[in-house]
Amino acid sequence: MAVVNNAPIVANLIADQNAKQGTAFNFQIPTNTFTDIDAGDILTYSATLENGNALPNWLTFNSTTRTFSGTPTNDNVGNLNVKVAATDKTGASVNDTFTIKVQNVNTAPILKNPLLDQTVKVNSTFTFTLPKDTFSDPDAVNPYKNLVIFGDSLSDTGNAYKASGNTFPPSPNYQGRLSNGLIWVDYFAPDLQFTNQSIQNYAFLGANTGVSNTFGQITVPGLLTQIQQFKTVNANSIGKDGLYVIWTGANDFLNLATDPTQAVTNAVTNISSAITTLAGLGAKEIVVGNLSDLGATPLSIANNNVANARAISIGFNAALTQALTNLEPALNVDLSLVDIFGLSTAVQTNPANYKFTNITQPLITVTTPVNPDQYAFWDDVHPTTRLHQLVTDTFENTLLNDGVIPDLIKYSATLADGSNLPDWLNFNSTTRTFSGTPNTGNVGKLDVKVIATDKAGATVNDIFTLAVNQSTTVGTPGDDKLIATPGSQFDGQNNIVFTGAGKDELDLSTVSSLPNSGNNIVDLGSGDDTIFVNKSDRAFGSDGNDTFDARDGQGNNRMSGGLGNDTFYLGSNDRALGGDGNDIFRVGLGGGNLISGGAGTDQFWIVNAELPSSANTVLDFQLGTDVIGISGAVSLGITTSTLKLNQVGADTAIVFNNQTLATLTGIQASSLSLTDPKQFVFA
């Protein structure tokens, strides 16, 4: 009679094991784990990962002694599912799987690349962002392959804008975002080292928690539709290696439903349904944001709905918290609740703690220059990029506290001695950016300390020197040629220049395209000098027959000839003062200039081949001494009969074809004669 082989069986399940980063791990499979009832049968053992792949390099298995051994590193922190197989001599086998939980041992952040020293000039804007690779933390490893976002305009990075053919939201917006800059997702994703390719964002402006609704001409996918879109696109490629975020609900309540209790129930039910679907698809880590205080929005304040809107938020958040508490064990998923309402309350309670000066007025309604980072709201419901940065911090801190992410570096900055930064210098810990504008009282050097802190409070720091310079350029006694060049000592930005003696040439217009150029102070000294101004420059000719050229400039310059016979070529919206001497002023296509000849016989050429775009004003025309010039009069059709002198109050307007070419301040039209060559020259 043939003997029938019996396969081995699992007699006792293998218990899960704990290992610690940096500590030797050793575990022997108990002898009674597997049994085989066949007499004389000998079992052989093997081990792989649960999916059949080979064990990681740090872990070895001795099949003879049934022993695992190895020392895990920081890269191995997390759960490792290991499958052990027992096989008899006929090849029949059985297996059991257990988990090795590799615990993290905190490692302090390290300095990878020391910070370079920085310089800034007085009255210039200083901006410096710490390079991402300045510090690193071996513990700050992103355990997730994908970031998947569901929600509304608070998380929409351009989906609605693209769907509308880049027409909605209308201007002003920031790259399709309803804010004045980046929103929380834009800051959060790179902090956790997600690449653009690993982010799937389904959030859509105007979305509610349901299936769909319309916003203008756009069909808006609600939360439940977004979940279905994700399911369709990803098919079988989704699961526990993703981090999923749901933040929505506000649009269900902005119009304050007649039955808010039912609206709350419906919204929480929809979110619960979305979580259940994701869990069924394999999601393990789901992050849910609650509602901010809707009563704190400018919309609620304007509509006198503060109390009702706040009550809606409180009711919704309580129901959402209870739903998540029930769902987590039922679905066997990790649910993290991010308390945005708590952030909203903290900002309202003490806005100065967050450097806000206005938490009730929309930024887009402000018509005077302000610091946008001091405003909490961009429009009547949406946060500014600064408030979004605080939302980012709230999400990140929640994930750290819940153990969803192992670690994350947080940044701070002080002076080297630990004292606060000076008032003019700000540090944004979310964007890692220093910014500010020093004045003359800040000239000198600052030693600035940047501190990187991990979850456990371990720190590392680096110090860089910030030199605040009063940028002064001094010429030689000879003929100098100074051309503004970006990145040089003479960069055309808040420079102070003394050219000294000689026939000097100084060009500030070469950097006119740069946003921070201009605001220079120039003393040309003695000699016949030439200067090309840019914008908001102050140039003094001092002594000599100097030439001032503002045609490539951008306005708001002040040019003073001083002593000598000077020549001015004017652009737009500048001030030109001839000073002592016989000066010549020539107007180009621009206009809006204020011109003063000063002492001497001066020529004011108010037309030169083409008409100016707007009238120029001569402040001190001297009868019997100064002259008005028209160059190209014949080709333009300007004659003594077509040119008009109109009295406007105490001034005289020189008009051609109903266009005012120039205004002579304090001059009576009756005292002028177009046919007097001592007053008017037609060339």
- At residue 237, the pLDDT reads 61
Question: Which tens digit of pLDDT belongs to each residue from 350-404?
Answer: 999 999 999 999 999 999 999 999 999 999 999 999 999 999 999 999 999 998 9
Show the tokens assigned to 123.
Answer: 């009255």
Look at phi and psi of residue 178 and say left if phi exceeds 0, alpha if psi is from -120 to 50, else beta.
Answer: beta
- At residue 470, the pLDDT reads 77
- Residue 116 has, within 13 A of its CA and on its CB side, a CA count of 6
**Could you tell me if residue 249 is inside a domain?**
yes
Q: Please tell me which residue, 14 or 4, carries the higher pLDDT value.
A: 14
Supply the CATH number for residue 219's domain: 3.40.50.1110
Question: How far, in Å, CA of 137 to CA of 433, rounded?
Answer: 20
Supply the CATH number for residue 57's domain: 2.60.40.10
Question: Of 83, 103, 123, which residue is a domain's last?
Answer: 103
Residues 447 and 493 in one domain: no
Question: How far, in Å, CA of 274 to CA of 267, rounded?
Answer: 11
Residues 638 and 538 in one domain: yes
User: Which amino acid type is present at position 387?
Assistant: L
Say how many Å lie between the first and final Cα of the chain, rounded: 131
Residues 670 and 547 in one domain: yes
Residues 125 and 247 in one domain: no
**Could you tell me if residue 429 is inside a domain?**
yes
User: Is residue 255 predicted with pLDDT exceeding 80?
Assistant: no
pLDDT band at 257 (very low <50, low <70, confident <90, very high): low
Distances (CA, A) of 19 to 12, 16, 73: 21, 10, 10
3-state SS class at 117: coil
- The mean predicted confidence, pLDDT, of the chain is 94
User: Is residue 238 predicted with pLDDT exceeding 80?
Assistant: no
Distances (CA, A) of 473 to 541, 576, 589: 16, 24, 32
**Could you tell me if residue 380 is inside a domain?**
no
- At residue 95, the pLDDT reads 96
Question: Which tens digit of pLDDT belongs to each residue from 489-541?
Answer: 888 988 999 999 999 999 999 999 988 899 999 999 999 999 999 999 999 99
Residues 20 and 130 in one domain: no
- Over residues 282-291, the mean pLDDT reads 95
Residues 619 and 596 sit within 8 Å (Cβ to Cβ) = yes
Question: How far, in Å, CA of 359 to CA of 376, rounded?
Answer: 5
Residues 205 and 296 in one domain: yes
Question: Which tens digit of pLDDT belongs to each residue from 148-187?
Answer: 999 999 999 999 999 988 888 888 889 999 999 999 999 9
> Quick one: the chain helix, strand, coil %, rounded to 5?
20, 30, 50
- At residue 290, the pLDDT reads 98
Residues 246 and 297 in one domain: yes
- At residue 309, the pLDDT reads 94
Peptide bond into 383 cis (omega under 30): no
- Over residues 118-142, the mean pLDDT reads 92
Question: Of 376, 405, 434, which residue is a domain's last?
Answer: 405
Total domains in the chain come to 4
Residues 200 and 218 in one domain: yes
**Could you tell me if residue 367 is inside a domain?**
no
- At residue 349, the pLDDT reads 97
- Residue 74 has, within 13 A of its CA and on its CB side, a CA count of 13
Residues 135 and 154 in one domain: no
Q: Which domain holds residue 20?
A: 9-103
Name the strand (E) or helix (H) holding 330.
helix 306-331
pLDDT band at 258 (very low <50, low <70, confident <90, very high): low
Question: Of 447, 467, 487, which residue is a domain's last?
Answer: 467
**Could you tell me if residue 196 is inside a domain?**
yes
Q: What percent of the chain has pLDDT over 70?
A: 98
Peptide bond into 438 cis (omega under 30): no
Show the tokens assigned to 542.
Answer: 């001092």
Residues 89 and 169 in one domain: no
**Could you tell me if residue 537 is inside a domain?**
yes
Question: Which tens digit of pLDDT belongs to each residue from 195-232?
Answer: 999 999 999 999 999 998 877 778 899 999 999 999 98
**Could you tell me if residue 663 is inside a domain?**
yes
pLDDT band at 1 (very low <50, low <70, confident <90, very high): low
Residues 504 and 575 in one domain: yes
Q: Nearest 5°: CA angle at 353, between 348 and 354? A: 80
Among 208, 274, 206, which Cα is nearest to 244's? 274
- At residue 574, the pLDDT reads 97
Among 150, 130, 140, 124, which Cα is nearest to 207's? 150
Residues 195 and 332 in one domain: yes
**Could you tell me if residue 670 is inside a domain?**
yes
Sheet arrangement for strand 567-570: 481-483, 505-507, 530-532, 547-549, 567-570, 584-587, 603-608, 627-631, 680-682
Residues 44 and 85 sit within 8 Å (Cβ to Cβ) = no
